[in-house]
Amino acid sequence: MAQEVQKSQYSDGERFPVKYVQDAPMSGLRTACLSFIERVYGKEHTHFAQFTAKTDSHFLSDLERAMAILLAIRSELSGGWLFDMKGLVAAELFSDFLDQSEHLLEQGYKDAAAVMIGSVLEEHLRQLCLRHEVQVIDLKDDKQVPRKADRLNAELARSSVYSALDSKQVTAWLGLRNDAAHGHYDRFTSEQVRIFMRGVIEFMTRVAV
């Protein structure tokens, strides 16, 4: 879009000509870019602030600044920087949840701990899918429906993100989580939940986002 807007440039003023681009296409570009940057980075990010401040007119120089910011964003995305940062944030949050799970176990709440560990595992699978471009949404009756964890696990193994052996272990873990979530508390012990937690930590460290 920016390259198309660039083709609309013109000069105004005889003695001191100033270069512009057409206002309407520049406004359309700006709106599209701000929407994109907000979705990817959020309104608090430097890219959003810089784009907002530096591209608010239809001077050619505003367009050139817009293109420079877009190129910086493309470089970050193609280099995986954004996913690395999201992975670090996710890892910190997951660590907090796993710490809480361990505390629940120590207090004798194995069922709640199992559900929490399972939730961390499921979100890790979802993050792996996003990182490796595995679909996480299905279309059913014209509505977007999130894929269940079992399906994500199968697709990740099929895409060779991790091995078939890992996939079987994840299936077993998800089964334990489902038992806890549906009240089948007699099907697992506190020690099994503890092994579940250690296994998930090892898996998430080895198969990182």
Do 104 and 199 lie in a common domain?
yes
Please report the pLDDT score of residue 26 as a whole number: 95
Do 44 and 141 lie in a common domain?
no
Q: Give the structural domain span for 181.
A: 81-206
Do 97 and 68 lie in a common domain?
no
Please report the pLDDT score of residue 191 as a whole number: 95
How far apart CA 13 and CA 166 sit, in angstroms, is: 68
Q: What is the pTM of this model?
A: 0.57
**Three-class SS of residue 11?**
strand
Please report the pLDDT score of residue 101 as a whole number: 86
* Alpha carbon distances (Å) from 184 to 115, 168, 176: 12, 21, 9
Please report the pLDDT score of residue 162 as a whole number: 96
Please report the pLDDT score of residue 205 as a whole number: 86
Do 60 and 74 lie in a common domain?
yes
| pLDDT per residue of the chain (209 residues) written in tens, 0 to 9 | 999 999 999 998 777 889 999 999 999 999 999 998 888 777 888 888 999 999 999 999 999 999 999 988 887 777 656 555 555 445 566 667 788 888 888 889 999 999 989 988 998 999 899 889 898 888 887 788 889 999 999 999 999 999 999 999 999 999 999 999 999 999 999 999 999 999 998 998 899 87
Nearest to 73 by CA among 32, 44, 35, 40: 40
Q: Report the 10 Å Cβ neighbour count for 85.
A: 12
Task: From 54, 78, 102, give the residue that closes a domain.
Answer: 78
Do 125 and 161 lie in a common domain?
yes
